[in-house]
Amino acid sequence: MNATVIPRRRSATGVLLVNRVLVSAHAVAVSGQPVFAGGYLSGDYDMLGLHRWGADVVSYLGYAQVLAALVLWLAGGPRWLFGVGLLVAAGETGQYFAGLAGVLDLHVPLGVALVAAMVLTTVAVWRPQAWRVGR
């Protein structure tokens, strides 16, 4: 018998789509942050405002992703996405406050790690194998 590709409960398929969209939007938003920071560092000082606005968007998407992953888990989906979401949201919260405090020796490498984490999460969330029963 083949493992099913959808979450254990049929009602979770809509929640799965919401999670995929949120993770994808989150990855796009977090990947845009280095672009804004680079623009600022190359002399376009208006980009700093966009970088801060982008940080707010990234944070809100991160928290929404955690909530959506929790709903998916409770609906019978995998719990790994909730754990990853919590770790990324915690990292982004630290990233946000490190940026406000000007602690760039933490802000920059943490930003690189968060971009990598979100790109990998996006790839994983769109792979059908990630949603097999028992994971």
At 52-110, the pLDDT tens digits run 999 999 999 999 999 999 999 999 888 999 999 999 999 999 999 999 999 999 999 99
Q: How many CB atoms lie within 10 A of CB 131?
A: 24
Predicted TM-score of the model (pTM): 0.86
Q: What angle, rounded to 10 degrees, do the helices at 12-41 and 80-101 form?
A: 20
Output the CA–CA distances (angstroms, integers) from residue 97 to 68, 102, 104, 110, in the order listed: 24, 8, 11, 12
Report the chain's terminal Cα–Cα distance, integer Å: 17
Cα 97 to Cα 84: distance, rounded to the nearest angstrom: 20
**Cα distances (Å, whole numbers) of residue 38 to 25, 35, 52, 83, 114:** 21, 5, 13, 31, 17
Look up residue 110 and give its amino acid.
L
Tens digits of per-residue pLDDT, 15-49? 999 999 999 999 999 999 999 999 999 999 999 99
133 has pLDDT over 60 = no
pLDDT of residue 9: 57
Task: Compute the residue count for the chain.
Answer: 135
Residue 3 has pLDDT above 70, yes or no: no
Runs of H (alpha helix) within the chain: 12-41, 47-74, 80-101, 104-126
Tell me which amino acid residue 87 is: L
pLDDT of residue 10: 60
Average pLDDT over residues 107-126: 96
